[in-house]
Amino acid sequence: MALQNLRGRVAWIFMDEDFDVDQIVGVKNIKIKDPVELGKLAMRAEDPEFADKVRPGDLLVGNHNFGYGHPHYPPMIGMRQLGIGGVIAESFSPGYWRGEIAMGFPQVACPGVLAAVSRWDEIEIDWADNTFHNHTTGKTLPIEPLSDGDRLMLEAGGLVGYLHARDKEEATK
């Protein structure tokens, strides 16, 4: 099964390097589990209408080492609840990356992306040729290819699906 391209608008650009994702919902809300509530809280401190503006498929853009610190899962549970389709960043903190890939949430390392987008640009990730396209500006950049393991995990929708796929593969051997 091929991975479906990500296509949507840039819903937010995180300018900070080493961005701590807990700030998306705020540290005081980090123990909330309800996705709907988390969705409403996402970015509210920065843009009170964020949840209303986001459309399914929209994407987030980040700087270097996105997810540094002690990342928890609720912020991106909230983002997925709003329909956010993935995160494209200059580079990622490995722990954050691993956690979100296991959730089946696409993460894309794309050096140079920050300078290539403005908020609400229409962008696309083409997995077949590993490129980033900004349809608003016409700009194209290469992305870092996923490892086989990460690609299989995203294709399977996350860790549990991936392990089931391995079950099937091993059964046919």
**Positions in the binding site for other proteins (CB under 8 A):** 18, 20, 22, 26-28, 30, 64-65, 68-70, 91, 93-95, 98-99, 102-103, 147-149, 152, 159-160, 163-164, 166-167
- Residue 20 Cβ, how far from other proteins at the closest point, in Å? 7
Task: Report the residue number, 26 or 83, with the smaller CB distance to other proteins.
Answer: 26
Nearest in space to 90 (alpha carbons), one of 103, 108, 74, 78: 108
- Residue 143 Cβ, how far from other proteins at the closest point, in Å? 16
Task: Report the residue number, 137 or 167, with the smaller CB distance to other proteins.
Answer: 167
Nearest in space to 25 (alpha carbons), one of 35, 13, 15, 10: 35
- Residue 128 Cβ, how far from other proteins at the closest point, in Å? 20
- Residue 149 Cβ, how far from other proteins at the closest point, in Å? 4
